[in-house]
Structure 1
């Protein structure tokens, strides 16, 4: 089969009408698509909830631990006997 014959065969296949979709298949596809959309929506909401919880946890930790404050020096002895 040469190139022109292959192109002609491909054109015939693409130009032919597709077979009709059975109604039970359509209903099944709609049901599965709805389920996929609901699952995706739940996953997105849980992801946002997890990110929000992580952000709140970090803010609370930062306010309690105050990592930007330099810890007091413990290398010099206390001054006594002045």
Structure 2
């Protein structure tokens, strides 16, 4: 027997010796439940991020409307002739 044939025979022997491990009967149900949990967490995170972004946008809008930051500030000094 050559080397590749011997290795192939060894692998075949090992595969034949190994008994098939039983699959739990509720495996599909557990996988579905875990998937639903993961999707729920992702949905909650996405909702929280959108809510945070919208709250930040609303705060920016309120700040901009209240302080009117785009107009120039009036001068703090008075003209020299104003007091005469």
TM-score (normalised: structure 1): 0.66
Give how far 1:53 is off.
0.6
Q: Deviations over 1:17-52 (max 9, x none)?
A: xx8853322211111100111111111111111111
Residue 80 of structure 1 is matched in structure 2 by 83
| Runs of at least 5 residues in structure 2 that lack an aligned partner in the other structure | 12-20
TM-superposed deviation, 1:75: 3.6
Moved over 4 A (4+): none
Give the 5 Å matches for 1:1-82: 21-77=23-79, 79-81=82-84
User: In the aligned structure 1, how far is the partner of 2:70 from the partner of 2:22?
Assistant: 68
Unaligned 5+ runs, structure 1? 10-18
SS in 2 for 1:23: coil
Aligned CA RMSD, in angstroms, stands at 2.5
